[in-house]
Amino acid sequence: MLSMFRLENKNALVTGGSKGIGLGMAKALGKAGAKVVIASRGKEDLEKATEELRELGVEAKGKRVDVTDKNSVEELVEFVVDEYGSLDVLVNNAGMNIRKKLVDVEEKDWDQVLDTNLKGIFLTGQAAARQMIKQQSGKIINISSIFGGVGSSYQTSYAASKGGINQLTRVWADELSSQGICVNAIAPAYIKTPMTQGWLADEERYHQIKSQTMIGRVGELEDLYGPVVFFASDASSYVTGQILYVDGGWTAK
Ligand code: NDP
């Protein structure tokens, strides 16, 4: 029965795979048997992460991309197909945050967050879908956030982008399911990564965040391993259009 979770013969692309959640998910997919391409802007981080994956026994390649740039994203999908022959799993993960009070958010902050988190997800999902439609199979996993579903101060641009990702997930699921493509989203609460390091360093805030969850702790990268392998694998073949909250119970309160 566990064989339905295995990912041998699957080729996965993880955007923002050079660190944090993306790298964690690339490790999980690779350990489950997938070949992986990780993609991000920074050359050094990418090389280091690719090496880390290879040391774990994962067949991995790194490719530079800026997800806000259509040509760059299209080249990335071409690269995956040229190298591995198909694109079976997209983890649409690259993202960022600028936390500010509503009254302080500048237009350039809004543009940067929305361009990366929402336009980036759209461009990458579109390029991947074109390939997956040719194959008549594929899995798209969008990385959302609890703030796509619940309100929280200082998240104006970020929450808008993540709410948009939830809707893209449902729209694409409806449009692509008949072509063998499942589209789902994972919506984590706070996970310890380079992105949240500074925010979680404040002790009072850290304890407040912990107490928002039912489980009573902040998330670790490993908490996302099971969910991403589930959505990437045949174990989820009748699941599409869903937003899975991996949040220690935060949003169920
Ligand atoms: P990190 O900052 O640790 O990693 C972000 C990754 O995205 C890096 O690899 C970065 O590489 C890449 N990236 C950023 N901008 C671009 C771009 N324009 N083009 C290509 N790659 C880019 O973030 P996390 O791992 O914490 O977050 C990953 C995803 O998970 C995001 O979508 C985030 O919103 C989401 N998330 C995170 C949570 C958390 O608590 N950490 C909770 C809920 C959701 P580089 O800068 O070199 O391009």
- State the distance from the centre of ligand 1 to the C-alpha of 97, rounded, in angstroms: 8
pTM: 0.99
Q: For the chain, how long is the longest CA-to-CA vector? A: 53
Instruction: From the CA of 190, give the closest atom in ligand 1.
Output: 40
Give per-residue pLDDT as tens, 100-152. 999 999 999 999 999 999 999 999 999 999 999 999 999 999 999 999 999 99
Query: What band does 234 get if pLDDT is binned at 50, 70 and 90?
Result: very high
pLDDT at position 241, please?
98
Sheet holding 243-246, edge to edge: 60-64, 35-40, 11-15, 89-92, 138-143, 181-188, 243-246
pLDDT at position 195, please?
94
Ligand 1, pocket-test mutation among 13, 15, 41, most atoms within 8 A of CB: 41
Can you tell me the distance from the alpha carbon of 148 to that of 138, in angstroms, rounded to the nearest whole number?
A: 24
Query: What band does 251 get if pLDDT is binned at 50, 70 and 90?
Result: very high
Q: CA geometry: angle at 203 spanning 202 and 209, to 5°?
A: 90
pLDDT at position 201, please?
97
Ligand 1, pocket-test mutation among 14, 44, 93, 141, most atoms within 8 A of CB: 93
pLDDT at position 150, please?
97
pLDDT at position 141, please?
99
Kindly state the DSSP code that residue 241 receives in the 8-state scheme. S
Q: Is 250 in the pocket of ligand 1 (CB under 6 A)?
A: no
pLDDT at position 197, please?
95
Query: What band does 83 get if pLDDT is binned at 50, 70 and 90?
Result: very high
Average pLDDT over residues 203-232: 98
Rounded to the nearest angstrom, the gap between the alpha carbon of residue 233 and the centroid of all alpha carbons in its chain is 15
Give per-residue pLDDT as tens, 181-199. 999 999 999 999 999 999 9
Give per-residue pLDDT as tens, 3-56. 999 999 999 999 999 999 999 999 999 999 999 999 999 999 999 999 999 999
pLDDT at position 69, please?
98
Alpha helices in 35-155 (DSSP H): 43-55, 70-84, 107-114, 120-135
At 125 the three-state DSSP class reads helix
Query: What band does 248 get if pLDDT is binned at 50, 70 and 90?
Result: very high
Query: What band does 179 get if pLDDT is binned at 50, 70 and 90?
Result: very high
Q: Is 158 a catalytic residue?
A: yes
Query: What band does 153 get if pLDDT is binned at 50, 70 and 90?
Result: very high
Q: How is residue 75 written in tokens?
A: 């080249």
Query: What band does 92 get if pLDDT is binned at 50, 70 and 90?
Result: very high
pLDDT at position 5, please?
98
pLDDT at position 237, please?
98
